[in-house]
Amino acid sequence: MFTPSKTTNRVLSMANTSSTPSSGAINPTHLVEQATQAWQKSLERMATNNPQTDLEQMQAMQPVMEAFGKAATALSANPHALVQSTLQLHQAHLALGANFLEQMLGRSTTPVATPEKGDGRFNHESWNNAFFDLMKQSYLLTSNYLTQAVSSAKGLDEADRNRVDFYTRQFIDALAPSNFLLTNPEALSTALSTNGESLMQGFQNFLQDATRGSITTTDLDKFVVGENIAITHGNVVFRNHLIELIQYTPTTKQVHAKPLLICPPWINRFYILDLQPQNSFVKYMVDQGFTVFMISWKNPTAEYRDVGFENYITDGLYEAIDAVRSITGEDSVNAIGYCIGGTMLSAALSVMEQNNDKRINSATFFTTLTDFSKAGELSLFTDEAQLDALDKRMQRDGVLDGKSMAATFSMMRANDMIWSFVVNNYLLGKQPFPFDILYWNSDSTRMPCAMHSWYLRKLYLKNEMAQPGKLEVLGKKIDLRKIALPMYMVGAINDHITPWTSCYAPFSGMASKSKRFVLSKAGHVAGIVNPPTPAGKPIKRSYWVAEATNVPAETWLRSATENQDSWWPDYTQWLGNQSGSKVAAPTKSGNTKYKPLGSAPGTYVLE
């Protein structure tokens, strides 16, 4: 499905080492009470569901059904190839059966099929048992057969092929023997060694998740925003209906004159850049002598249904820029945009370029798409049928519920974000490991109807931002090619949400004479939350860096320099060159116009 990122591998490792079932006896009466409560919660959710939504979701799947129909027709039109591949599968299973007999006689064999690198589902030593090894390899052979069969279907366009590949993979992942008690040797041995307590604990975990309405991926009780996560010191210095602006307290006697304003995505919480002190990008930048400001977005409710993309620019970005300029006395700011925050920043820069607006001195983009023609697997959820269904739901509710977005992202990494926790929590009866990134990932936010519909249709479906003069924002025709200020972009080589090649291509074509591109050797999140390795510990990170020129991404990569460890020091050096001379650090937050309204991380992040 993908090459797991370092974050993914860390999650799998944690799942294998998470806390074992409690040694305390589980009260059966309490389990019955929990089961009753979970059932009642399920009934309540069913009662609040609009039947029309279910119908709309079924209609939204029509393109998927049609794609599978086309694939079946294509395969039946070439029966010889299908027979050949089926015969090869049969022969492989015969070889596997022969290996099984050899193993039963105590002889060593060479595996017929092995898991892909990074596949942690079969890591436990009990999968080496002859019977379970047979089951594992049979599953892998059949999985490869199905994957290759649908991939070989001729005559499908790219969209239909991607649909067939994706949903075939969902089916294959769901049926892995590791996901079921009777076919998971580790779960069986754990149940025996704990006298069934692991199963009781797993059932209790399941009931708790059924009550919550979502699977638990981390220990939610171990983190509290503002207490042990998002704790970099600062103050909220501005608040309106859409944002809170946080000014962080300097830790150095002198700071760079030019302030840094961070525009995070509003699809998630801002504190992905301020997790814990050891991996906080915010703290790192403050410690390097930068005056850092952060936008914290409002978690919208139904009353925000008409808030659009342009409002996020005018009432969010522009208001924040003016506050930062007033507080620091600087005419312009350095700006960072992360993911959709970077997409918005790009549009704003095009508008500002046409208005001769110089309030932004330099721009940095973290995993930002502006050309959505190859937008990764998210494009599977943005065809006309699915957007029609989504629009109807958002028009009724006013917003898109955060759990819907979270479910979509989880499907894109089903083995890691769904099935690994099914095994860990339910089959093994363990508690999820406390992991700050997964806590942040579970802290989802809502999307206003107008903004989200515009964003998905104009950008994902029609790709108007990539067409000069096609997209209109704030009365201006967007042409990203004309953006000329100094720029820095970070892509991630294993990014499944914003593929790095799609980030690079439009960035390299911009007019700026200073375009530094960094490719982090990780994924969408770990590629950005990428702190320098502490002294004495082995370095596992690296990144490629070079100026972006108007050449294909693969050509750029061949000529780029690979460096060990984090890209953060490279960025601070680059940003320092854009930030003017050092001045005395401010002794207090805000000014007479923008007075402190409360301590960081503010109130909007808690909603």
602: exposed, middle or buried (Cβ count in 10 Å: 0-12, 13-18, 19+)? buried
315/450 Cα distance (integer angstroms): 15
| Look-up of token digits 């099984």 | 100
**Angle CA(196)–CA(200)–CA(204) in degrees, nearest 5?**
165
The DSSP call for residue 177 is G
β-strand 476-477 against 472-473: which pairing, if any?
antiparallel
Torsion angle defined by CA atoms of residues 527, 530, 535 and 541, in that order, rounded to the nearest 10 degrees: 0
205/422 Cα distance (integer angstroms): 10
Active-site hit among 263, 339, 449, 503: 339
118/254 Cα distance (integer angstroms): 45
Q: Is 263 marked active-site? A: no
Tokens for 118?
């990074």
Q: Which helix (H) or strand (E) holds 362?
A: strand 360-366
420/216 Cα distance (integer angstroms): 11
198/26 Cα distance (integer angstroms): 10
Helices first, then strands: H and E counts in the chain: 22, 17
400/445 Cα distance (integer angstroms): 9
C-alpha atoms less than 13 angstroms from C-alpha of 384 in its C-beta half-sphere: 2
481/472 Cα distance (integer angstroms): 15
The DSSP call for residue 363 is E
C-alpha atoms less than 13 angstroms from C-alpha of 130 in its C-beta half-sphere: 13
Label residue 110 left, alpha or beta by phi (over 0 means left) and psi (-120 to 50 means alpha): beta
Tokens for 584?
């005395």
527/273 Cα distance (integer angstroms): 12
| Look-up of token digits 């702190």 | 531
The set of residues, in sequence order, having a beta carbon less than 8 Å from that of 541 and lying 6+ positions away, is 6, 520, 521, 522, 530, 533, 564, 565, 566
134/58 Cα distance (integer angstroms): 38
| Look-up of token digits 């004159």 | 257
Indicate which residues carry an active-site annotation: 339
